[in-house]
Amino acid sequence: MVVEEIRGKSGGENGNYDNFPVGMRVLAVDDDPTCLRLLETLLRKCQYHVTVKSQAREALQILRENKDRFDLVISDVHMPDMDGFKLLELVGLEMDLPVIMLSANSDPKLVMKGVTHGACDYLVKPIRIEELRNIWQHVIRRKKFDSGKQNKCTDQINNCQASGQGQMSLMTGNVDQNGKFNRKRKDDDDESEDNGDENEDPATQKKPRVVWSIELHRKFVAAVNQLGIEKAVPKRILDMMNVEGLTRENVASHLQKYRLYLKRISSVATQQANMAAALGIKDSPFVRMSSLDRLGDFRNLAGSGRFANTALSPYSANGMLGRLNSPGGVNLHNLTSSALIQPNHAQNLSNSMSNAGKFHPVITPGSQNGSLFQGSLEMDQLQKNKCTTEITNFNSMDDSRMFTAASAFTNTGEAIGSSSNYLNGDPNNLMMLHGNSQQALSGGFGNQSSLNMASFNAESLNGGVGQSSNFLDHGKFNETWQTIQLPKVQSNTLFSAEHLQDQLPLNTVRDNNSSNSPHLQNNPLDISSTTMASRPLEDSRGEIQFQEGLVGQNSDTIFGSFDFNIPANGNLPPSSKSLDQSTGIFNRKMEMVVNSRLPGGASTLMQRNEIEQSNTDSRRSNENFLLEQAKLQGGFVSQSYGSLDDLVNAVVKREQDGNISDGNFGFDDYSFGPGI
Amino acid sequence: MERNLHRQLANMKKSLFDQGYLDEQFIQLEELQDAANPNFVEEVVTMYYRDSARLIQNIDHALEKNPLDFAKLDNYMHQFKGSSCSIGAKKLKNECTQFKEYCETGNGEGCKRTFQQVKKEYAALKKKLEHYFQFARQVGPVEKACRPK
């Protein structure tokens, strides 16, 4: 290690310093203060530039604030507010940073889980300093193979000592479980398109990191849709998008992630995580859709949280759902295009978001969905619940957001927490979710909203969940209900999904609710707010406000649009009709699926969820659920995506069964829980 | 005189190692102590005791419930174990492992028994370390850690 002064690279850039790895910027996350302190000191000893956070939410927040502020993230697996794996996925999706997992548990299953979620390494506590001396390799490796960022790799590689071989333990990009391992692996398959000229001469020239904003993503999705997912090649997509400054590599890498995301969505859809199973569903590794790496976008969506109740329905109309018909099954594209989400909504949302949570309860159909979705995504991610992605109500969210959300959602492989409950992880749900995500994505909300959104979503989702608790007497559906809560959640979506994740286990949600109960009671939105409120929402502070604002929304509308079939309740009122109108097919499907009557239904659902989830799991499901919901919203409409149909069917079936216990759409339920 | 004190301190530390209270990790902590972090070890240990007290309480409460929630117990213990091994508390770590095993097999009695041991070791180590640090402060800046034979 070269002992030299660290070239100041604060924040802004990608740490392109000559003395790399000295000065490598690391973000360390661990809830245990003793371990965190130790880790910090060890890292400092290695001459890295360290920032510590004891909460995953906070970590996500600062990461989102500035993606380029860090080179590497090290996170504990076992954390109370968010599952380390979820954080891992989110970071990978949104920021595309290498993440190293840390745990006292060396169980191979967990290690594998880390791998499948995209961790680039897995260290066992107590950590020795020698292990940390080599972690810079992950940064280099990523940069080197990252088609979009060819900057300093060569230089850095030159500078670095050759010790690299270190622990490639998890780094094997080849760990492709069902294609889950989706860290960009240039040398693999998909990248073939990239291979060509990509590595131009890149080593020396520093390309700014491309941020896939909602708008950009929307264009991307539209282009892909137009070309057809099978035939979409980066060059053509690039041409179609016609964005200045965007390179084929950027598109290629984004495409790869997107594909993975789609794959993941579909695989998620096929697994039905037992949502009902108390949201604690863990495992089913959802293929991480790294494609959606620009979760940020959808975060924005989430932020917009404008889940206007009404929006929900209209949203669908926007065909966000329709978008789901890309061959890939994820009509994210569609969503984006239809972007019901009105730009202004997005803006509003963003504005609101930026206003620290003054979310205008403008729930634009499109935007909302996005946000919802987003939230759900977040939630989803957090909660490994296979929420039924019946987030149909996410109409308003940007497609991109939705997408992002969805992706985030899917990526984490966790059923959208809430949604999962909702549909029992039906593949359909997945679709729905997906759709929602799309919508969310299309929201194109501002960046900051994204942040909020993300968190918000989570929150909202949770909120929803929380709400559900209010509503639902039977906590059975917790998971599923969560989705339903989406409508409410919409406002919540603003809440950072993280929040949701953090703690919104359904149970928690419930608690949350209680804290805000008065608030919640009034609105579905309330629920979300409640949930949010109770959480130590750091990010979502503004969101909460938002929620509150939203809360005022007619839950009915929201719910109505949701039309989540909350099988769990078994008595989902066919409110989905409203959805139908707006979302067309989606609505229909949603109806089937969600007959959630929202105010009541949702609550039931939520409650169920809550009940189901005993802890973080539930939270996750909520999130998932929300995500799902969001997804559903957007994506349902025309799903060409087979799963949507399945989803719907499933939903219908579910209805019949009157038991949506496994609302999770086959999303994994990350158990935050024990022993991670 | 001073040399004697230093030697005494070294002996104290050595005995802690020999008796199995501490392990390599503690050495690493000491190695991290430097001008920038002059009281690092003591700080970390103090932090540990403060934080883990809460965990101990949680586990105690959880053990009183009936029926026992092994998942939760395992969860708490996992956290506790993580912290404990970070400061190099060897015996404690072993007891924690044992506890977790009992959790996995659902052996409530075993858990309770083991936890009594855990608490004992926890208290014992705390005393020893307090004593050690106190002495170290008297002696002056801690010498560079050297691995016990």
Of B25, B52, B75, the CB nearest to A673: B75
Closest CA to A335 of A295, A380, A375, A369: A369
Token pair belonging to A183? 């860290």
Residues of B engaging A, defined by a Cβ cutoff of 8 Å: 25, 28-29, 31-32, 36-37, 40, 43-44, 47-48, 51-52, 71-72, 74-75, 78-79, 81-83, 85-88
Residues of B in contact with A110 (CB under 8 A): none
Mean pLDDT (whole number) for A459-486: 38
What pTM does this model have? Answer: 0.43
Pick from B25, B28, B87 the residue to mutate for testing the A interface (most A CBs within 10 Å). B28
Position A130: which residue type?
A: E
Residues A355 and A343: their CA atoms lie apart, in Å, by: 18
Q: How far is B1 from chain A (nearest CA, A)?
A: 33
Residues of A engaging B, defined by a Cβ cutoff of 8 Å: 32-35, 37-38, 41-42, 44-45, 76, 78, 103-105, 125-126, 128-129, 673-676
Can you give the pLDDT of all 149 residues of chain B as single tens digits?
567 888 888 888 899 999 989 998 898 888 888 888 888 999 999 999 999 999 999 999 988 888 888 888 888 999 999 999 999 998 999 999 999 999 889 888 888 999 999 999 999 999 999 999 888 888 775 455 555 55
Token pair belonging to B56? 């101990």
Token pair belonging to A607? 């409650």
Where is pLDDT greater, at A464 or A241? A241
Residues of B in contact with A83 (CB under 8 A): none
Cross-chain Cβ contact B44/A34 below 8 Å: yes
A-B CB pairs within 8 A amount to 66
Order of strands, sheet of A49-53, starting from the edge strand that comes earlier in the sequence: A49-53, A25-29, A72-76, A99-103, A121-124
Mean pLDDT (whole number) for A174-201: 42
Residues A212 and A293: beta-carbon distance below 8 Å: yes
- Dihedral sign for Cα A560, A603, A319, A429, please: negative
Residues of B in contact with A282 (CB under 8 A): none
Chain B residue whose CA is closest to A129:
B28
- pLDDT at res. A118: 86
- pLDDT at res. B127: 92
Cross-chain Cβ contact B86/A129 below 8 Å: no
pLDDT greater than 50 at residue A282: no
Degrees, nearest 5: CA angle B6-B11-B14:
130
- pLDDT at res. B145: 52
Residues of A in contact with B85 (CB under 8 A): 104, 125-126
Residues B114 and B92: their CA atoms lie apart, in Å, by: 11
Residues A392 and A469: their CA atoms lie apart, in Å, by: 20
Where is pLDDT greater, at A163 or B40? B40
Cross-chain Cβ contact B43/A41 below 8 Å: no
Cross-chain Cβ contact B83/A32 below 8 Å: yes
Cross-chain Cβ contact B83/A37 below 8 Å: no
Of A41, A129, A676, the CB nearest to B37: A41
pLDDT tier at A609, thresholds 50, 70, 90: very low
pLDDT greater than 80 at residue A414: no
Q: How far is B94 from chain A (nearest CA, A)?
A: 13
Of B36, B40, B81, the CB nearest to A104: B81
- pLDDT at res. A90: 86
Cross-chain Cβ contact B48/A126 below 8 Å: no
Cross-chain Cβ contact A38/B85 below 8 Å: no
Cross-chain Cβ contact B32/A41 below 8 Å: yes
Residues of A in contact with B47 (CB under 8 A): 33-34, 37
Chain A residue whose CA is closest to B89:
A126
Q: How far is A37 from chain B (nearest CA, A)?
A: 7
Cross-chain Cβ contact A41/B85 below 8 Å: no
pLDDT greater than 80 at residue A399: no
Residues A467 and A533: their CA atoms lie apart, in Å, by: 12
Q: How far is A667 from chain B (nearest CA, A)?
A: 22
User: A198 by DSSP, 3-state: which?
Assistant: helix
- pLDDT at res. B122: 92
Cross-chain Cβ contact B28/A126 below 8 Å: yes
Residues of A in contact with B29 (CB under 8 A): 38
Cross-chain Cβ contact A126/B81 below 8 Å: no
Token pair belonging to A14? 């990608």
Residues of B in contact with A45 (CB under 8 A): 32
Residues A403 and A217: beta-carbon distance below 8 Å: yes
- pLDDT at res. B141: 59
Where is pLDDT greater, at A301 or A159? A159
DSSP class per residue in A356-420: TS-------HHHHHHHHHHHHHHHHHHS-------GGGGGGSBHHHHHHHHHHHHHHTBPPHHHH
Cross-chain Cβ contact B75/A37 below 8 Å: no
- pLDDT at res. A36: 92
Residues A97 and A407: their CA atoms lie apart, in Å, by: 16
pLDDT greater than 90 at residue A502: no
pLDDT greater than 90 at residue A139: no
pLDDT greater than 60 at residue A2: no
Cross-chain Cβ contact B86/A673 below 8 Å: no
Residues of A in contact with B78 (CB under 8 A): 78, 104-105, 674-676
- For residue A255, give the DSSP letter: H
Closest CA to A556 of A257, A305, A280, A310: A310
Of A34, A674, A676, the CB nearest to B51: A34
Cross-chain Cβ contact B48/A34 below 8 Å: yes
Chain B residue whose CA is closest to A126:
B86
User: A99 by DSSP, 3-state: which?
Assistant: strand
- pLDDT at res. B136: 86
pLDDT greater than 50 at residue A633: no
Residues of A in contact with B25 (CB under 8 A): 126
Where is pLDDT greater, at B133 or A203? B133
Of B28, B31, B83, the CB nearest to A34: B83
Calculate what percentage of chain A has a pLDDT beyond 70: 28
Mean pLDDT (whole number) for A86-102: 86
- pLDDT at res. A74: 93
Q: How far is B93 from chain A (nearest CA, A)?
A: 11
Mean per-residue pLDDT of chain A = 53
User: B69 by DSSP, 3-state: which?
Assistant: coil
Where is pLDDT greater, at A125 or A539? A125
Cross-chain Cβ contact A38/B37 below 8 Å: no
Pick from A30, A31, A32 the residue to mutate for testing the B interface (most B CBs within 10 Å). A32
Mean pLDDT (whole number) for A62-91: 88
Of A32, A105, A674, the CB nearest to B71: A674
Lowest mean pLDDT among A51-60, A83-92, B117-126: A83-92
Mean pLDDT (whole number) for A457-477: 38
Token pair belonging to A60? 């996500």
User: Which tens digit of pLDDT belongs to each residue from A323-357?
Assistant: 434 443 333 344 333 334 344 443 443 343 334 33
- pLDDT at res. A126: 86
Residues A180 and A290: beta-carbon distance below 8 Å: no
User: Which tens digit of pLDDT belongs to each residue from A247-275?
Assistant: 888 888 888 888 888 887 777 666 654 45
